[in-house]
Amino acid sequence: MEHLQWKPEYSVGVPVLDRQHRGLIRIINKLTDETESDGMIDWVFDQLEAYTREHFATEERLLEQYDYPDLAAHRKQHRNFEQWLKAVRMTWRSGAPRDQIAATVSAFLRDWLIRHILSSDMAYKGVVGTNGGTEGQMEA
Ligand SMILES: [Fe+2]
């Protein structure tokens, strides 16, 4: 499968959030490259858990700071993602085949992330200041 490429139209206008989104794309691409070992799948799950925890927290903190009106609905999307991640990880632990897990996770992540960035995240573009997120830097 081809790598996901960052595109300028993915920019939400907030440097820290763009950087985090790029980091998520890198994790997804890693999954596309290497699914030969069980360890890779576990690594991807670990990374996704840690990375999305920090990213969602940063984003929600900024939206709160800027009194974003759709914050509740946006939070809900993040929580749904976390539930999905938990569920798919349990499926993996219960012995699902590696190839199947990799394909499911990869397809879901590509679709979810790009759709989430292009619709839900884009909706706060211009609301959250471009100087937002000077704390909580997460280099990807
Ligand atoms: Fe978001």
- Domain residue ranges of the chain, discontinuous segments joined by +: 39-124
- pLDDT at residue 56, as a whole number: 94
What is the greatest pairwise CA distance in the chain?
A: 45
Q: In angstroms, what is the span from residue 66 Cα to ligand 1's centroid?
A: 14
Tokens, residue 138 = 């997460």
- Rounded to two decimals, what is the model's pTM? 0.83
- pLDDT at residue 132, as a whole number: 56
Q: In angstroms, what is the span from residue 117 Cα to ligand 1's centroid?
A: 7
Instruction: Provide the pLDDT confidence category of residue 135 given band limits of 50, 70 and 90.
Output: very low
Whether 17 shows a pLDDT value over 60: the answer reads: yes
Q: In angstroms, what is the span from residue 116 Cα to ligand 1's centroid?
A: 6
Q: In angstroms, what is the span from residue 122 Cα to ligand 1's centroid?
A: 9
Tell me the average pLDDT of the chain.
Answer: 86
Q: In angstroms, what is the span from residue 36 Cα to ligand 1's centroid?
A: 30
Tokens, residue 19 = 């950087």
The CATH classification number of 39-124 equals 1.20.120.50
Round to whole Å and give the CA distance between 8 and 93.
37
Instruction: Provide the pLDDT confidence category of residue 40 given band limits of 50, 70 and 90.
Output: confident
Instruction: Give the range among 46-50, 55-59, 86-90, 125-129 with minimum mean pLDDT.
Output: 125-129
Q: In angstroms, what is the span from residue 83 Cα to ligand 1's centroid?
A: 15
- pLDDT at residue 137, as a whole number: 46
Average pLDDT of the residues in 94-107 = 88
